[in-house]
Each structure stands twice: as C-alpha cells, then as structure tokens.
Amino acid sequence: MMRDEPVRRLPMALSALVALALSVLPLPATIDAFRPDFLVLVVFYWSIESPRAGGLALAFLAGLSLDVIRGVVLGQHALALTLMAAWATHLRLRLRVFSLLSQSLTIFALLTGYQFILFWVDGATGNPVTAFSRWLAPVIGGLIWPVLAGALSRLHDR
C-alpha cells in the first residue's frame, strides 16, 4: 500500500549533518554549557514529523556518530537517542495538537530522559560526569524547540 507522504530523506540528512556540525562547533567556555543538543532536537523533530522516513534509523545513526565524535563508549548516545526518539514517535499524534508550551515541556521531558540515559551509561561504564551543568542542556533545548521546529518545518514545506 503506497502512502502519499513524500519521503523527505534529503532534508533529513542535511539538517542532521548541520546539527552535528553545530554540536561540535567551538564556543567560548562560558556559553558552552548552554549549548542545546542540536542533533537530538533535529532527530526528535523528524521522529514526530515523518516517522516513516526512517526516524529510528536516523536516531541510531546520529547517536553512533555522536559516540564516535565525542569519543565515548560506542553505543551510548545511540541507545539514548533511539529510546527517546521512539518515545517521541509514540507521542507524536498528541504532540501535534499540543500548545506550544506543552510541546516545549514534552521536549524538555524527552531531553531529560536522554540526558539521564547518558548519565546512567557514563556511570555504568566507570567514568561518571557529575557536573551539574549537564542538566542545563534539556532546559535550553526545551526553550529553543519552538524556534527550531518552526525553522525546520519552513525548510521542508517550501
């Protein structure tokens, strides 16, 4: 059975690449802690927007590339991103009718879950990062979600 939904793999891959670049872009140390997880937000967006275009595969691959670039144990970001992207996909029908505020709050919850899985794997593999600033990224991510989602929907609606 063919669906009329266009499979938007190109904008998906492009936005993921740009987000990956943004997440390793050098920033001054003072604002570095305030950097949102761009790639995670982009993966969430595509999981909600078009899960059929391979949202989970994208999540897994994006997580794997984060693992390689950040040099942590292979599979850590992949696990966290896969689980949270699946949850976002599960919630997507509700998310679409949510108000902007509720959307942001849900994204905040998803990002916190993501961060918690990272935290847990960090601890389980023997190099815990207990810095408080790691819990800042979900807040920032929730705050910029409306802007990012708006920009991305404009990107592929054109």
Partner 1 sequence: MVAFRNTDAAGRTSGLLLRCVLYSLLALGLIVFDKRYDHLGEIRRFLSVAAYPVQVAVASPFEGWHWLRESVSSRDALRADKARLEAELRVANFRLQRYEALEAEAQRLRALRSNASGFAERFLIGDIMDLDIDAFRERVLVDKGARDGVFVGQAVLDAGGVFGQVARVEQLTSEVILLSDASHAIPVQINRNGLRTIAVGTGDMGHLKLPYLSTSADVITGDLVVTSGLGGGFPAGYPVGTVAEVRRDPAQSLADVVVRPAAALDRSRELMFVWLKPDAQAPPAAARAPVDTAAPPKAAATPNAAAAPKPRGAPVP
- The smaller minimum CB distance to partner 1, of residues 57 and 143, is found at 57
Instruction: Please tell me the count of residues contacting partner 1 according to CB under 8 A.
Output: 59
Q: What is the DSSP letter of 124?
A: H
> With binding defined as CB under 8 A, does residue 15 bind partner 1?
no
> With binding defined as CB under 8 A, does residue 105 bind partner 1?
no
**Sequence-distant (≥ 6) Cβ neighbours of residue 42 within 8 angstroms:** 15, 16, 19, 62, 148, 152
According to CB under 8 A, which one of 25, 101, 139, 143 is a site residue for partner 1?
25
- The smaller minimum CB distance to partner 1, of residues 86 and 109, is found at 86
> With binding defined as CB under 8 A, does residue 111 bind partner 1?
no
Task: Report d(CA 61, CA 81) in Å as an integer.
Answer: 9
**Sequence-distant (≥ 6) Cβ neighbours of residue 14 within 8 angstroms:** none
> With binding defined as CB under 8 A, does residue 112 bind partner 1?
no
Which residues 26-65 are close enough to bind partner 1 by CB under 8 A? 26-27, 29, 32-33, 35, 48-52, 56-57, 59-60, 63-65
According to CB under 8 A, which one of 19, 39, 40, 103 is a site residue for partner 1?
103
> With binding defined as CB under 8 A, does residue 83 bind partner 1?
yes
Task: Report d(CA 102, CA 74) in Å as an integer.
Answer: 33
Is the Cβ–Cβ distance between 8 and 50 less than 8 Å?
A: yes
Q: What's the burial of 83, exposed, middle or buried (CB within 10 Å: 0-12/13-18/19+)?
A: middle
Tokens in use for 135?
A: 């819990």
According to CB under 8 A, which one of 14, 90, 143, 155 is a site residue for partner 1?
90
